[in-house]
Structure 1
Amino acid sequence: MIPQHQTALASAEGLLNRYHSGNCFFLSSPQGTLLTEGELAVVTGEEQQFQASLVSQKVKIIWEELKRSGYDNPMIVGAVPFAPGKPARLIVPEKVFWEDRTQMDADAGSGDQQSPGTVLKLEEEPSPADYMDGVERALGKIRAGELSKVVLSRTLRLTAAADVDPAQLLRQLAANRSGSYTFAVDLPHATLIGASPELLVSRRGKMMITNPLAGSAARSADPVEDQRRAASLLTSGKDLHEHAVVVEGIVEALRPFCRTLEAPERPSLIQTPTMWHLSSEIKGELLDPAITSLDLAAALHPTPAVCGAPTEAAREAIEEIEPFDRGFYTGMVGWCDSRGDGEWIVTIRCAEVSGRDLRLFAGAGIVEGSEAAAELQETSAKFRTMLHAMGLDN
């Protein structure tokens, strides 16, 4: 149920080709493909630090003003960072384009491979050795009973010989079928772009769905080995425990909002071109039709899938161990309309692009039984989504 002030274009490819950085928001999901242009209003000031109640108040005031000006069902789009107190990027767009179909042609983006050419500089933060040291520190906290899970991430900073075009990179991610949710968001000094496999929450009328992913294995080019890895993931005690921690946390966060809530007893498998993931689709019926997708997303963010459990203890461990600010990585990106419908995606498999500079992100969930070398390898596999779209080997 996209806002009615929409404009139809010929296809999802038409929206993809229309996208350009600097004035657009783009999100392609199984529900459809959304492109917005321009800004009618920007959520600014204190509300922009994503205090959910203040954001909702500010947005509702803006929406009411727009409705009096003839907009039937205005929306908000944008991105929220991982850490509380950091500025979000949330706007009310001027134009909204929507296409129900999401399937791109098989040759979408072909011949248009985004490559930065010569990479003049590549920095890993933290270094592989330091990342594994961080995993060991996290395992110490888990053994001490401070945590049951914490997600530790690292970045790749690339400086290319030529500017990277976000529009080309977005087209390549879509062509590669890199994830269920392909997105691009304008930030003040960069473009946030990615292909996430993970739905934070979707709300349609009184029904909501969330689809957490936790527990992962890298894909193999050998079909036999690839299937072995998938089967092993489904029976891995360590990964099933990690997934159960996430599902339990999400159900607990959603229970106050839902009349009914259904979660599968065991996870299933989903795949991307680079990874296998354990997946659980959790569905609920809302208690109150006034509860918006933004309300639900704020209650869930950040889930144990990208932070850990308990949440505050995991956040403290991340601040202590990770040597960088995540920014919008492991935040959320999406939309909400004035009826409360909307869709918010977990911001993973992504990069920040600014001219010749790119910053890529990847993380892994640390639980009892995790091994530092294996977690490092998992982050390396997750980097491949963006590296492949840029025409670079990992």
Structure 2
Amino acid sequence: MKKQYKEGRFNIKSSVPLRKHALYLLDKLNGHYSKQHAQFSCLFGWYEQGEYQSYLALGQNAEYQCRLYDGHAVFTFKVAEKVVLEQKVGLCDSASSIYESLFCHLKALIQASQPYLGDYFEGDISALPFLGGWKCITSNQAYEGDMIFRATLAELIVHVQGQSCLAYGDDLLLSSLQDVLSLDEFETSMKLAKPIGIINDQKVPECREYIGNLVELLNDVSGSKDKVVLGRKRHLFSYAPVTSTQLLNHVHNERFNTYDIIVEWADEPSWVCVSPETLIKKHLETVIVEPLAGTRKGSEFSGTAAKFRQELVESVKENEEHRVAVDLFLKSVSQYCQPNSVKLEKSKNIIDLGYVQHLKSIIRGRVNEGISIFDILCSIYPPATIWGVPIKESTSRIERAEPFKREFFAGAFGFFNLQDSANFALAIRIAKLHEQTVIVYSGSGIIEGADPFHEWMETDNKMAPFLSAVVRT
């Protein structure tokens, strides 16, 4: 029997802000549709022209996947766990070549799968989002056997905009959705407000090792314009299991226009992300990238925040880091856009997230006919903001100085549809949940002249949304 997506429009009555309501709604959907929740659950919330909207998704109808095996990538398109298409290709060793191959073959797989959609789905599903993302691969060997890309077409998709939502699913799922929307939010709010108590934590690497590694990197980049982004993580051990909705409830801040992201697959740990950085957005012929590079501490006191802001504006190191990132994006995006259409609309705007301040630019262009989101991703990922320059040298430096797998940290989360609209956030300000452990990740850009202890403190500052969400018991 073919799968159906009926459309239902529902009004929202909520006493809490829209971002909070979307989170509460996902928690209620997870409880009501437990079978679908066990397969896949996702919240992807973002701002569009100042207005917040979100996709909530549960269950698994179809999926595009890529897994690494023995130096090869296996690309798969599945419907209801049935393999419809599968392709196996060789991969190169360098990071840029790996991702160029990944996105090139994903584009081919998606195109090849479309003639089969009519065999499995009734009607047009081209506007529905495939939600997911990809991991940040610093070493092929470390990711042997891993699923490095996956994007899921959920059984139930709820698109929340303002005081209404559009829902897509079969008759059975939609018939009970109004009941879920009507559930009292007070019980959910009390459950998600429960404090997250931690009994211990572990830094990976520890400060001494991190600074030692950084000093070696500074010797490497001395006398050059090279940059490398060095990451670290921190394990927070809780006395009780922590849920993704509970963690995001404590982490996100209504005052700042960041992404709200929860991604859970049955065979993966849960991920929670409040990224401030758009990797890429595409709608029709318009493409937008928003490089974020250059950081100073934030403060709740206006005078102190202004002092840090002025330091950021005047910092040669932070401005150079930002310039390199912007120049690379401009060069990469221009390859796929109409002549003279690529514009640097906003340059080095300061965004204040409370705990840190960043330099941010916005680049907009009009893509050439026939260019897909995956063509552009071939060129822009991995960006300097999470990797470094040159790519090849940065790869070997990251492998040498980072004693862990990044997994989805510094990868991306978001959605695309078969009409080639897309929105992907860089997976920074991110944590992984595994039973009673919350693992928080962050990184900083290292160039000549960087101060090792300052970089350690910067990575701590970037973890602040998660560190301030927990209580030591």
| TM-score for the superposition, normalised by structure 2 | 0.75
- Cα distance in structure 1, aligned partners of 2:294 and 2:303: 20
What CA deviation, in whole Å up to 9, does each residue of 1:21-45 have, x standing for no partner? 6421211100321112211122235
Root mean square deviation, CA, Å: 2.6
The structure-2 alpha-carbon separation of the partners of 1:320 and 1:42, relative to structure 1 and needing over 3 Å to count, comes to same
> Which is further off, 24-33 or 327-336?
24-33
Secondary structure of the structure 1 residue equivalent to 2:220: helix
> Of the candidates 74, 77, 93, which is equivalent to residue 154 of structure 2?
93
Tell me the amino acid that sits aligned with residue 47 of structure 1.
Answer: F
Q: 1:304 to 1:287 in 2, by over 3 A?
A: same
Question: Which residue does the alignment assign to 1:319?
Answer: 399
Q: Distance in 2 between matches of 1:256 and 1:6?
A: 38
Per the alignment, residue 284 of structure 2 pairs with 205
Distance in 2, matches of 1:100 and 1:213, equals: 27
Q: Measured at CA, do residues 40 and 197 of structure 1 come closer, stay the same or move farther in structure 2, by a change above 3 Å?
A: same
Larger radius of gyration: 2
Q: Is the 8 A contact 2:281 2:423 kept in 1?
A: yes
> Identical aligned pairs, as a percentage?
21
Alignment of 1:32-47 (within 5 A): 32-44=53-65, 45=67, 46-47=74-75
For 1:246-273, what per-residue CA distance to the aligned partner results, in whole angstroms no more than 9, with x for missing partners? 1111112212111121125841101213
Structure 2: distance between partners of 1:315 and 1:382: 22
| Alpha-carbon offset, residue 132 of structure 1 | 1.3
SS of equivalent to 2:405: coil
Give the TM-score of the pair, scaled to structure 1: 0.89
- Shift in alpha-carbon separation, 1:79–1:392, aligned structure 2, 3 A: farther
Query: Do 2:63 and 2:151's aligned partners in 1 also have CA atoms closer than 8 Å?
Result: yes
Post-superposition Cα deviations, 1:289-333, rounded to whole Å, max 9, x if no partner, equal x32334333432211001001112111110111111111100000
Aligned to 2:87: none
Change (3 A) 1:135 1:101: farther
How does 1:246-285 map onto structure 2 within 5 Å? 246-259=325-338, 260-264=341-345, 266-285=347-366
Aligned with 1:310 (options 387, 390, 413): 390
Equivalent position to 1:297, from 367, 377, 384: 377
Letter in 1 for 2:240: A
Determine helix, strand or coil for the equivalent of 2:75.
helix
What are the equivalent positions in structure 2 for 1:1-394 lying under 5 Å apart?
Answer: 7-11=8-12, 12=18, 13-19=20-26, 20=30, 22=38, 23-31=40-48, 32-44=53-65, 45=67, 46-47=74-75, 51-67=102-118, 69=121, 70-73=123-126, 74-83=128-137, 85=140, 86=143, 87-101=148-162, 112-117=192-197, 119-143=198-222, 145=224, 148-177=226-255, 180-187=258-265, 188-259=267-338, 260-264=341-345, 266-288=347-369, 290-391=370-471
5+ residue gaps, structure 1, are none
Q: What is the one-letter code of the residue matched to 2:402?
A: E
Contact 2:325 2:385 in 1 (8 A): yes
Structure 1 counterpart of 2:200, one-letter code: K
Does 165-174 or 31-40 show the bigger shift?
A: 165-174
* Deviation readout 1:151-176 (Å, 9 max, x if unpaired): 11110012211000111222333455
How much does 1:101 deviate?
A: 3.6
The CA distance in 2 between the partners of 1:166 and 1:101, in whole Å, is 24
CA distance in 2, matches of 1:90, 1:71: 18
Name whichever structure is richer in strand by fraction. 2
Counterpart CA distance in 2 for 1:194 and 1:278 is 20
